[in-house]
Amino acid sequence: FSRALKPAALAVQNGAKNFSTTSQRNFKVVVAGAAGGIGQPLALLLKQNPLVTRLALYDIAPVTPGVAADLSHMNTPAKVSGHKGPEELSAAIKDADVVVIPAGVPRKPGMTRDDLFNTNASIVRDIALSIAQNAPKAIVAIITNPVNSTVPIASEVLKKAGVYDPNRVLGVTTLDVVRAATFVGEINGVDPTSVAVPVIGGHSGITIIPILSQCQPALKLSDPAKIKALTERIQEAGTEVVKAKAGGGSATLSMAYAGARLTASVLRGLKGESNVVECAYVKSSLTEATYFASPVVLGKSGVEKVLGYGTLNEFEQQLLKAALPELAKNIKTGEDFAKK
Ligand code: NAD
Ligand code: LMR
């Protein structure tokens, strides 16, 4: 468990900021699944990002052109286009710099994220195929669950098409980082935007591993039982929302916030800013899991460097040990589906 490069917590604070060195400041961003619970508020936030000059909204829902028309009246630079149904997918994706994918069904109470696989796997596969054909250099940020499996699916599709670049495919785990910072902020009695907690592993249950020992500022908890309870709250925070929505879906607004943050960091990397760091689920050789979430440096071609996860304490090492077989299983499920 010491195959780590350096402690990462400091850097994982709202995607550490630095000065820009240049260049491209006009990017086309696509939201695939743009009419949904996540898609709409995510599009709203992206329409406010000055680096987004074209915002393409794709969904199968009839309301999609209306969502685009609605957002297009906002007096911000991004030109908005709406694309409804599979016959308009290519036009949406064409020449995208970034494709964010929240398309697919969410959980209801009693379901696991893996229960979504049968429906969501083919949705992600089809969108990935269009990316391979229409924007093979795009950075792909996948929100659709189960993320542990949908990222391998998209990767295999791009591989089959001969355009796979592991640095350009990310699973979005930012919500886990956002939640960890929120809960630690509450416990420490500080502004949660000033808190940084790396969250590694994957994005479901025991594969979500918050590294509370690397919390910045330090977590004001020493009782191991309380640290365990906080860890489990972070791991089960998605389920907390699913239960509270009582059949009405899962996290959408906090996810849109987290997705907009990740996308903003990807764009800052693309435009040449240095030291842009976020946690994301990416192709990785840090552990025996072939995809793994950890802090990564985002640059001009996506993931510039996969950072390590620093030193884990005994409790965190146990969490990692428990997560790895589950992750490996989820990855295999995704790869097997895509290879069929
Ligand atoms: P939603 O049902 O509100 O919206 C999903 C949208 O996807 C709908 O508008 C639907 O029309 C669209 N869609 C369905 N099939 C499509 C296709 N083939 N092509 C394009 N669009 C299609 O669901 P939601 O609450 O927005 O959640 C979306 C996904 O995000 C779910 O899988 C959910 O589990 C996942 N999620 C992930 C995270 C995370 O942290 N990564 C957090 C929250 C939710
Ligand atoms: C989340 O963490 O909120 C999402 O993965 C949605 C879910 O099903 O919990």
Ligand 1: residue of 38, 89, 199 to mutate (most ligand atoms within 8 A of CB) is 38
Report the nearest-CA residue for atom 44 of ligand 1. Answer: 251
What percent of the chain shows pLDDT beyond 90? 92
Alpha-carbon gap, residue 187 to 185, rounded angstroms = 6
Residues 38, 141, 185, 224, Cα dihedral to 10°: 110
Q: What is the mean pLDDT of residues 312-326?
A: 98
Distance CA 116, CA 108 (A): 10
> Which residues form ligand 1's pocket by a CB distance below 6 Å?
32-33, 35-39, 58-61, 102-107, 116, 120, 123, 143-145, 147, 172, 175, 203, 249-252, 255
Cβ count within 10 A of residue 189 = 7
Whole-structure pTM value: 0.95
Answer yes or no: is 268 a known binding residue. no
Query: What is the amino acid identity at position 299?
Result: G
Cross-strand bridge partners of residue 30: 56, 99
Residue of 83, 203, 268, 271 marked active site: 203
Residue 29 · residue 96 · CB < 8 Å: yes
- Check whether the bond before 106 is cis (ω within 30° of 0): no
pLDDT at 125 > cutoff 80: yes
pLDDT score for 44: 99
* Cα–ligand 1 centroid distance for 122 (angstroms): 13
What Å distances lie between residue 267 and 138, 302, 325, CA to CA?
11, 9, 33
pLDDT tens digits, one per residue of 61-79: 999 999 999 999 999 999 9
Distance CA 97, CA 162 (A): 18
Is 310 a known ligand-binding residue? no
**Ligand 2 pocket, residue 113 CB under 6 Å:** yes
What's the mean pLDDT in 134-157?
A: 98
Query: For ligand 2, what atom is nearest to the CA of residue 255?
Result: 3
What is the pLDDT, as a whole number, of residue 9?
Answer: 41
**Mean pLDDT to the nearest integer, 200-229:** 97
Active site residue 203: yes
Report the chain's C-alpha Rg in angstroms. 19
ipTM of the complex: 0.99
Is any ligand 2 atom within 6 A of the Cβ of residue 238?
A: yes
